[in-house]
């Protein structure tokens, strides 16, 4: 038996509202010319982790190894800071946060297709680390810190391109990452702009 879900929406599903603004005397054109009226829960409602820009080192079995290029500021601080050049390892992501995924016979069929050399934006959660040493000098909790970043999990991953495609029509420019993924409120606000006037609106008499 197979089941279809949106990645990050287990077991919830969120509606995607799209609308176009009509001219005073015209008709709206195609439905896909508008912007989403509210951001998908699959992206904005599940930001527990740290957004990272990474380079894929290897993909083996169910593990992804990558090198950190940049850690973005966010409201949900991890127990440790991930510096550029450091290696992070974790379970493979399902794919993009708003992609549909399929579960067949209790096995998740992921859409992740990253390979060595790819540049990705990921949401990463480090493994367990001693919270008591989180604010200390790195030398005082080095072993725990290293173990945490080498045994984490990747919640989702998208290819780092000129436009970041999170699936289901959720697209951002790279310069928006730090603001949009800082917290849920900022994320929702980024997708809640008033719908634009459609280029293909037909004028009336």
The pLDDT tens digits for 134-177 are 555 555 577 778 888 999 999 999 999 999 999 888 888 899 99
Show the domain range for 71: 2-127+139-203
Assess if residue 134 is contained within a domain. Answer: no
Going from the C-alpha of 56 to that of each of 23, 94, 102, 120, the distances in angstroms are 47, 16, 24, 7
The ranges of the chain with pLDDT < 50 are 1-38, 193-205
Assess if residue 133 is contained within a domain. Answer: no
Assess if residue 132 is contained within a domain. Answer: no
Distance of CA 30 to the CA centre of its chain: 28
- The first and second tokens of residue 23, run together, are 């001219």
The whole-angstrom separation of Cα 1 and Cα 88 is 35
- The first and second tokens of residue 121, run together, are 């934006």
The whole-angstrom separation of Cα 124 and Cα 173 is 20
- The first and second tokens of residue 182, run together, are 């800082």
- Domain count of the chain? 1
Assess if residue 104 is contained within a domain. Answer: yes
Distance of CA 195 to the CA centre of its chain: 23
Q: Is 178 exposed, middle or buried (0-12, 13-18, 19+ CB in 10 A)?
A: middle
Q: What is the pLDDT of residue 144?
A: 79
Opening angle at CA 91, ends 85 and 93, nearest 5: 90
Query: Do residues 55 and 67 touch, judged by C-beta distance below 8 A?
Result: yes
pTM of the model: 0.71
- Per DSSP, helices labelled H in 81-205 are 142-149, 177-180, 184-190
Query: Do residues 7 and 134 touch, judged by C-beta distance below 8 A?
Result: no
**Which residue, 195, 100, 91, 205, is CA-closest to 153?**
91
Assess if residue 55 is contained within a domain. Answer: yes
Mean pLDDT, rounded, of the chain: 74
* CA contacts within 13 A on the Cβ side of 127: 14
Q: What is the pLDDT of residue 31?
A: 41
The whole-angstrom separation of Cα 20 and Cα 176 is 23
Assess if residue 44 is contained within a domain. Answer: yes
The whole-angstrom separation of Cα 72 and Cα 89 is 18
């Amino acid at each position: 038996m197979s089941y279809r879900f949106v990645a990050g929406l287990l077991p919830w599903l969120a509606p995607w509202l799209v609308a176009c603004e009509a001219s005073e005397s015209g008709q709206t054109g195609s439905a896909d010319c508008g912007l989403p009226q509210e951001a998908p829960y699959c992206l904005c409602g599940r930001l527990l982790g740290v957004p990272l820009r990474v380079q894929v080192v290897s993909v083996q079995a169910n593990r992804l190894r990558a090198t950190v290029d940049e850690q973005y500021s966010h409201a949900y601080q991890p127990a440790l800071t991930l510096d550029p050049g450091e290696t992070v390892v974790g379970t493979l992501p399902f794919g993009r946060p708003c992609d549909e995924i399929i579960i067949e016979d209790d096995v998740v069929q992921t859409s992740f297709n990253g390979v060595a050399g790819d540049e990705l934006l990921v949401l990463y959660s480090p493994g367990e680390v001693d919270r008591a040493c989180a604010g200390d000098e790195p030398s005082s909790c080095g072993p725990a810190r290293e173990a945490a970043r080498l045994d984490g999990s990747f919640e989702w991953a998208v290819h780092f391109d000129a436009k970041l495609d999170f699936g289901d029509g959720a697209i951002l420019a790279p310069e928006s990452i730090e603001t949009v993924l800082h917290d849920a409120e900022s994320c929702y606000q980024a997708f809640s702009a008033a719908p634009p006037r459609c280029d293909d609106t037909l004028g009336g008499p």
